[in-house]
Amino acid sequence: MEKQQHISQQYNKELEGVKSKVLNMGGLVEAQVESAVSALIEQNDELAKQVAESDYKINKAEVEIDENCAQLIAKRQPAAGDLRLIIAIIKVITDLERIGDEAEKIGRHVQKLHATKDDTGMHVELSSLGEKVIAILHDALDALARMDIEKAAKVVESDKQIDKEFNRVSRVLVTHMMEDPRNIKNMLHVTWCARALERIGDHSQNICEYVIYLVKGQDVRHTEFNLDQK
């Protein structure tokens, strides 16, 4: 009995350790996105380089957590509730890693814009989109930390605003490319930054869908979710 209790305590400690690592990884990703957006709006080449070259930290965190989850499944054979948590964690860290990839892309495109001495000023068009994306990612990570399905549901809904903002920016960029074909190359770099921001919004939504899955046991991907659903 005492041995069984010890094993249970050790298992809970390992599980809490993995959850803590996920939240730490989330904080690292959030900082990367904030730096990427700042580098873009301010055309800060040094900050852009820092973002582009720091993605390995996020990749390392994903590999470590993934390995921890595999060991938990193999060694502890978790019951249904804990197994659901571990599966959700594996999915969450995949989306966090992809958000890191998108931040890295922004960093690299900003470096290219800086190298061509971009003077179009179109990167400023992404200011509003960048702010919205930072906010939605922050709320997604907060919902994950608190297992707050109400906040998670709001993030899922607010991703539509990100899509609208992205479509607006895309139209503006296309118009400017048509008006001045000499700037097409730089405009494409700005467009790819906008696309990366939009994708970060999508991955933030995915994270919130996993939170809902964890709390409600309901897969809400590709469906309309209602908090009152059982």
- Residue whose tokens read 């068009």: 125
pLDDT score of 116: 82
Return the sign of the alpha-carbon dihedral for residues 214, 216, 222, 228: negative
- Helices (DSSP H) in the chain: which residue ranges? 2-42, 45-53, 55-76, 80-115, 127-146, 149-179, 184-216
pLDDT score of 124: 78
pLDDT score of 6: 47
- Report how far apart, in Å, the C-alpha atoms of 224 and of each of 143, 163, 218 are: 19, 17, 12
Contact 99, 29 (CB under 8 A): yes
pLDDT score of 191: 93
Average pLDDT per consecutive 10 residues, the chain (230 residues; last block may be shorter): 62 92 97 97 94 95 96 88 91 97 97 81 84 96 95 92 93 89 88 96 95 79 54
Amino acid at 1: M
Please state the pTM of the whole predicted model: 0.90
